[in-house]
Structure 1
């Protein structure tokens, strides 16, 4: 039988409703030797499971209990037995650091940009690029989103963000408006998201008018509440991105509930998500030059 690639193995079990699990358990007898160096042992075990996937580097020291694996432009995680595989991002909450993004940056800025989109339009069985996006898409819209489970109830959301969305139903009370008088743009963000902070600075440089709608992906709801309830919301938003304390009297934050429900409904699984004035959706950070052109494309 021809050897499996990692992307193909994960695509097949997704049809059973449990992404990745059956394919990995099918070869559960492959184990990394506890007597070998962890990095080499895990690399060997992964090669036995997926001989068509070229594993470039394994790092079992970065995160306790997990080994980070680089395969081409993809980064994923396995335990030291190489039995359990995790697709997603790893955050150090104490340092407020996206460890996965740091590793992607080490592979090159183009890899970071490609992965920030978190979307792949290619089918299963192709090259292993976009692997995390494939698995997340197959997992369903309410799985592992960082949004409270009760907000994920209701009709199933689309598998991925549509090309365009309508923001007409969102209340003004859920937004912080800031910026200049240039192109209008709406940003779904998280104040602990490093790329949201980077995007914030880029949009400020571009002089655009921003309607920022916080959503809690990294457990930042209390901070979002404080920003929204501040007398000067724009100034509070600046302090939040700077990592400074933000305090305010409690107020009605139903607008934030609406933001999060909208994000779940439209499959916004990460931040930032940028929505142009014509409803066009862009997920992930982009450099200044790209955004300047993309924003102007909404003009008739």
Structure 2
């Protein structure tokens, strides 16, 4: 039985960017290996790629895991997932770091001849993006208000605060059927949360509990849940989804970010016009 609780809760330019990787590796080598071990013990499915305790955050270390960033205290007792803001400089430190990591990853891909654009986890963004033809099966999703006349598909990360806000708003919108595809974008445990939600007997109830920081109980044998989360995440990356929530209406038009429920309903009905 699995249990999730609150506690678990252009080449020259490219080469120049890669110097950041070398520098990052040196900083990582200077980090106490015991701290890395503690972090990886708490997040067994996460491979730590860097730790920096000299970011100017007193008592806090920045942890990078692939394209993700989170923070821990120096004793690895507490972890912080989400944006860190410098209120004096009015700067989103986390967003700036994520952009740096994305630039490094893109440079590596260009040097390796892979091309493409590595998508990063991002805060919800205003404005529409291109149409998305969602070909994922509903087996990969949590369906809310099944059978309601207005149809929306939503790509979420269960660590996303705006996703939670949208989720709460849509609870009272009984005229909107929501097919929610959980992805692993924002934090090391996003994958675990998504997998457990898809494993649960009552998926909608499980999502409620996860967003509220409660417990989720699921069977050990999750069938294809891991593959479903991976498919959702890859679909998002391949279709330019860089922010959560990303909402797709019946005609494929999409919108990234939260909007008030009446505005969302009017936008969703636009597919019927």
Separation of aligned partners in 2, 1:162 and 1:272? 12
1:164 to 126, 131, 135: 131
Structure possessing the higher relative contact order (Cα contacts under 8 Å, 6 or more residues apart): 2
> Alpha carbons of 1:174 and 1:135: their partners in 2 closer, same or farther (altered >3 Å)?
same
Separation of aligned partners in 2, 1:19 and 1:289? 48
Shift of 1:165: 0.9
Q: Does 1:288 align with 2:272?
A: no
Shift of 1:16: 2.4
Structure 2: gaps spanning 5 or more residues = 1-9, 20-51, 73-77, 109-113, 121-127
Structure 1 match to 2:183: 215
> Alpha carbons of 1:260 and 1:166: their partners in 2 closer, same or farther (altered >3 Å)?
same
User: What number of residue pairs does the alignment pair up?
Assistant: 198
Q: Does 1:16 align with 2:5?
A: no
> Alpha carbons of 1:215 and 1:141: their partners in 2 closer, same or farther (altered >3 Å)?
farther
Structure 2 match to 1:252: 224
Task: State the SS of the aligned residue for 1:263.
Answer: helix
Structure 2 match to 1:41: none
Structure 1 match to 2:162: 195
Give me the TM-score of the superposition, normalised by structure 2: 0.57
Shift of 1:209: 0.9
Structure 2 match to 1:178: 144
Structure 2 match to 1:30: none
2:237 to 258, 264, 276: 264
Q: Which has the larger radius of gyration?
A: 1
Give me the TM-score of the superposition, normalised by structure 1: 0.52
What CA deviation, in whole Å up to 9, does each residue of 1:247-298 have, x standing for no partner?
2112221222210110121232332111111111211222334323221221
Separation of aligned partners in 2, 1:224 and 1:135? 26
> Alpha carbons of 1:159 and 1:214: their partners in 2 closer, same or farther (altered >3 Å)?
closer
Task: State the SS of the aligned residue for 2:152.
Answer: strand
> Alpha carbons of 1:18 and 1:98: their partners in 2 closer, same or farther (altered >3 Å)?
farther
Off by >6 Å, runs of 4+ in structure 1: 18-22, 131-143, 158-161
Contact 2:69–2:98, Cα closer than 8 Å, also in 1: no
1:274 to 223, 227, 247: 247
> Alpha carbons of 1:240 and 1:227: their partners in 2 closer, same or farther (altered >3 Å)?
same
Q: Does 1:204 align with 2:201?
A: no
